[in-house]
Structure 1
């Protein structure tokens, strides 16, 4: 059996697909991953021996470009991505028996069109619960489509989101579908997410709100299957300079924002280093896509690039990050207290969950100041937060990719 895994997104979208690819391969399946053409993704998949098919332009170019995408330009950009991703996926899916997709909505829509063309099963996966419609949580407002400020009914908000999906993504998707002889869709959201999506998130950290409560009253219920997070084992050793830094003193605080360019926080490195130093702690600065750098040459700080977080995080006093699903889960597994400075989409959700679970602090807003970050660090570095983080770490599952691989092969086999 051959399976194509398709995504167009940041590392947080690609790395879980690599984890699922390994789990499928252990069960005897052949796997390809179609992902953005960034060098770091090619390297990631090569390191685990998974066949990589590059798709569209590098996503880092899209995210960190000097001219951010405007809401007015989104429908046109979505249409272009739909067409480009379709061409990549249709070539990659040759001889495959199923397609699993996630990432940006136009890319997922393109992958589903490929599965339809080939007559093979298609599965959509979300990495956090609030991506999927439910009366128990709010959707995320889309660019240029803000919600009415006084509207609190989740059913109404999801209806507005369905409308926004049709306005922003529907024209490009349907124009392309007509060009390849497929019928148009009138509900882009439901078409992309499908009626039976997978939820690859840990049930302790991010429970599906309707689990065990029966049918949803938000239209026709989604049959969501929560698999647990897809975690790619990382066996890379830590660099020698990092090991020496860790050994030279008390556990430091890590500050890094992954694939977020942090455009609204031009002084975020300065703010973070000063706030951590004020706590009497040493600092590890993760460069990331924001290109964070040290603010001076004092020996209580070290800047690092892409390193093994699974090995590093258990050795830290706390982790300050953007709140991506992967970073949040890795820090939780490590028992490391967290400060989440959320920027977009799912990150406010993860910040709220970290605070609700008592394993860290949710920073109020995307732009930290010395005062606001200091207050969040006070919470994260408190002994009771460390104690709670240790307890939660023991409950986080690590078998999500294996669960999904068995489910997928069983489903396709039937």
Structure 2
């Protein structure tokens, strides 16, 4: 029996699903991955078959950030309708023989995945990779484009109620129209329908604890980490060994409107602290500020092997990068761009394992000040202490739980 894993999002959504897929495979369970076409090469490297979902996420994200203007809330419903229909068609086509469906990423795509599970009569689950995506009295919801939080409302539960109304308004029509077309009844709470009343949280309990009491019965498994065995490139190793540990700078799957300005400001901030700099190109296409021999540019590399050899990690604050740096005991400076990234920046600062940059634009003076905090000996000592607490078995825990769910369902129908 197979498990269908559906992830419509960036690398931060897909990479943990790959870790889960590999853990499931080790336990003898077949896996079918459904994800954007951007990740075909990644999955192919592990022999995981990919059903490509929709258009390139990288192309859409780059257009949204670097285009003439950011997309407004208007048009979201139309785009959601297309995404629901396309995702349902692509996932349903490979659902034969599946025993469970687990989804993450954009809400309309996850709604389509749940519809497939309903039609096949198999368990469905939703996983989030950071706590603030899930409703809780302990934090407010993320703001949606064109729908800022109303002024004067400070109670988190009230804000989550408004968030549920927004989800219904933005996506309810598209989701229910599609459900009717495939013979399923309408839903009146889109967010609750997609998240379920027992979602999973694949995040480390030290870095990102789920606070109780809470309205949802969240299952926190620990972060889903894929062990990376790739060696570092020889030229990168030579750079690392040619001097003191450098500061790593990379913004992962975040396109940036003024990427070269950001690179120049960031390199200058690192040099102001008397450090060499290692620049990761990422989706922003960062490049060296000049041809100085204290600066080295890398593409896709094994961060698990690299982060233990750098003085600090300056990054956007994605869940995966934050967890990898924390696990390596590397001090961090997070320059949050969007979504969950302000949460991770705040957590790194609260834990004393790094600093949160004020705002998404890395400016020389402010970034240098944040780096000064991260490079203090006390910060590294705390980062190394926290590193010893990071769990690495989250994907195995989740894989076993998923297999138990499938077995229980099979026994119930026997």
Q: TM-score scaled by structure 2?
A: 0.96
How far is 1:26 from its partner?
1.1
Q: Secondary structure at the match of 1:6?
A: strand
2:47 pairs, out of 46, 49, 55, with: 49
Cα distance in 1 for partners of 2:94, 2:333 equals 40
Query: Which runs of structure 2 are paired with 1:101-180 in the superposition (5 Å)?
Result: 101-180=103-182
Aligned to 1:199: 201
Cα distance in 1 for partners of 2:171, 2:257 equals 26
Q: Secondary structure at the match of 2:372?
A: helix
* Structure 2 residue 403 is matched with structure 1 residue 409: yes
1:344 pairs, out of 338, 341, 348, with: 338
Query: Which runs of structure 2 are paired with 1:264-283 in the superposition (5 Å)?
Result: 267-283=261-277
How far is 1:368 from its partner?
1.8
Cα distance in 2 for partners of 1:378, 1:267 equals 21
* Structure 2 residue 252 is matched with structure 1 residue 258: yes
Cα distance in 2 for partners of 1:263, 1:77 equals 23
How far is 1:81 from its partner?
1.0
Query: Which runs of structure 2 are paired with 1:9-24 in the superposition (5 Å)?
Result: 9-24=9-24
Q: Secondary structure at the match of 2:101?
A: strand
Runs of 4+ that moved beyond 4 A: none
Cα distance in 2 for partners of 1:138, 1:147 equals 9
Aligned to 2:411: none
Aligned to 1:31: 31
Aligned to 1:322: 316
How far is 1:264 from its partner?
5.8
Preserved contact between residue 36 and residue 58 of structure 1 (Cα < 8 Å): yes
Deviations, residues 247-279 of structure 1 (Å, cap 9, x unaligned): 100000011000111226651001000000010
Preserved contact between residue 259 and residue 286 of structure 2 (Cα < 8 Å): no
Q: Secondary structure at the match of 1:169?
A: helix
How far is 1:27 from its partner?
1.0
Q: Secondary structure at the match of 2:74?
A: helix
Aligned to 1:78: 80
Q: Secondary structure at the match of 2:75?
A: helix
Deviations, residues 349-388 of structure 1 (Å, cap 9, x unaligned): 0000000000000111111211110111011111100000
Cα distance in 1 for partners of 2:377, 2:83 equals 48
Distance 1:266 1:171, change over 3 A: farther
Preserved contact between residue 249 and residue 280 of structure 2 (Cα < 8 Å): yes
* Structure 2 residue 190 is matched with structure 1 residue 188: yes
Q: Secondary structure at the match of 2:173?
A: helix
Preserved contact between residue 9 and residue 59 of structure 1 (Cα < 8 Å): yes
* Structure 2 residue 356 is matched with structure 1 residue 384: no
Preserved contact between residue 129 and residue 207 of structure 1 (Cα < 8 Å): yes
Distance 1:269 1:375, change over 3 A: same
How far is 1:149 from its partner?
2.8
Q: Secondary structure at the match of 2:263?
A: helix
Deviations, residues 108-140 of structure 1 (Å, cap 9, x unaligned): 111001111111100100000111101011111
Unaligned residue ranges in structure 1 (runs of 5+): none
Deviations, residues 15-70 of structure 1 (Å, cap 9, x unaligned): 111100111111111111100011xx111111122221111111111111254433
Q: Secondary structure at the match of 2:238?
A: helix
Q: TM-score scaled by structure 1?
A: 0.96
Deviations, residues 204-260 of structure 1 (Å, cap 9, x unaligned): 0000011xx4xx3xxxx3111000000011111111111110010000001100011
Cα distance in 2 for partners of 1:391, 1:278 equals 27
Cα distance in 1 for partners of 2:302, 2:310 equals 13
Aligned CA RMSD, in angstroms, stands at 1.1
Preserved contact between residue 20 and residue 404 of structure 1 (Cα < 8 Å): yes
